[in-house]
């Protein structure tokens, strides 16, 4: 009898089981080459709707479409061997109700091969989360600052300060009770993030939250320093690739203009084979 094939990648159940263990390493990814690089170290690769701003130059995540998420989701899945690939449900693809959410989540997973979806919202999304989970779609929740609701909450401001902490805690409990396998806590006070982490049986993944969360996530282009002008407080830059790339492009342009590139070793002669 043949042996079953080894598991290709981590599952939502694996991530849920990491509660309270070695912190989960999560990054966004939007392309196959970047997914291959990040896959070696990450537990979760998130195909975030931030792709609209990062790669497409959009002013917010709101114009991102389901087709855009599918295209980038397919690319990331091709580059991931170990990490769980989670794909964002874009604005307008799930808020109408559980039936709409299921149709679009099923399409995202079927057409990309991703292992889970992520959607924003707390108590008001609990029924939708439960509906999806009951039908075999693992859901990562996202509370606190929810960028798709930026117009309603008045900007990219910290959520859960003072008396507002009870609202965020209630949201966290609601999505966990609904069956989410993990929850992103974005831009909430550290003490509140620690309280939520201690309260929930599912992993918390912080972005602008607390080192005490069960994991951390950043937009990969932010942590690699691919943006000069924009740097959120919660981002640590581990490289300055924008400067490196600008210098490389400048050097290339100089070589082309003074005709030092291509050099003899970069061109072909009439002799020899294909090389």
Binding site listing for Mg(2+): 49, 88, 120
Sign of CA dihedral 121, 123, 126, 128: negative
Q: Which two tokens stand for residue 98?
A: 């559980």
* Other CB atoms within 10 A of residue 77 CB: 21
Please say if 186 is a catalytic residue: yes
Cα–Cα distance, 209 to 187 (Å, whole number): 5
Q: Which two tokens stand for residue 141?
A: 């929740």
Residues making up the annotated binding site are 49-50, 88, 118, 120
Residues making up the annotated binding site for 3-methyl-2-oxobutanoate are 49-50, 88, 118
Angle of CA points 155, 24, 56, to nearest 5°: 45
Cβ contact 49:58 at 8 Å: no
Q: Which two tokens stand for residue 139?
A: 């859901």
What b/e string do you get for 29-47 counting C-beta neighbours within 10 Å, with b at 16 or more?
A: bbbbebbebbbeebbbbbb
Sign of CA dihedral 189, 199, 128, 123: negative
The residue from 41, 81, 186, 265 that is catalytic is 186
Long-range contacts of 219-227 (CB under 8 A, 24+ apart): 219/27, 219/28, 219/48, 219/50, 219/54, 220/27, 220/28, 220/29, 220/34, 220/38, 221/28, 221/54, 223/27
Active site residues: 186
């Amino acid at each position: 009898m043949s042996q079953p094939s080894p598991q290709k990648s981590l599952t939502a159940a694996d991530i849920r089981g990491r509660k309270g263990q070695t912190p989960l390493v999560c990054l966004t990814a939007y392309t196959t080459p970047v997914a291959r690089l990040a896959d070696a170290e990450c537990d979760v690769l998130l195909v975030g709707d931030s792709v609209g701003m990062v790669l497409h130059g959009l002013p917010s995540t709101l114009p991102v479409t389901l087709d855009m998420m599918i295209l980038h989701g397919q690319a990331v899945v091709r580059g991931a061997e170990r990490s769980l690939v989670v794909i964002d449900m874009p604005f307008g693809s799930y808020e109408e109700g559980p039936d709409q959410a299921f149709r679009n989540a099923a399409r995202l997973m079927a057409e990309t091969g991703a292992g889970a979806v992520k959607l924003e919202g707390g108590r008001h999304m609990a029924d939708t989360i439960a509906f999806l989970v009951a039908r075999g779609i693992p859901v990562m929740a996202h509370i606190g600052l929810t960028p798709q609701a930026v117009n309603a909450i008045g900007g990219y401001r910290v959520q859960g300060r003072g008396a507002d902490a009870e609202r965020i805690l209630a949201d966290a409990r609601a999505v966990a009770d609904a069956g989410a396998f993990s929850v992103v806590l974005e831009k909430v006070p550290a003490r509140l993030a620690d309280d939520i982490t201690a309260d929930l049986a599912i992993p918390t993944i912080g972005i602008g939250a607390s080192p005490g969360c069960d994991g951390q996530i950043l937009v990969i282009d932010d942590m690699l320093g691919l943006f000069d002008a924009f740097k959120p407080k919660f981002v640590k830059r581990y490289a300055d690739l924008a400067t490196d790339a600008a210098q490389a492009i400048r050097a290339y342009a100089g070589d082309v203009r003074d005709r030092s590139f291509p050099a003899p070793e970069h061109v072909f002669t009439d002799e020899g084979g294909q090389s």
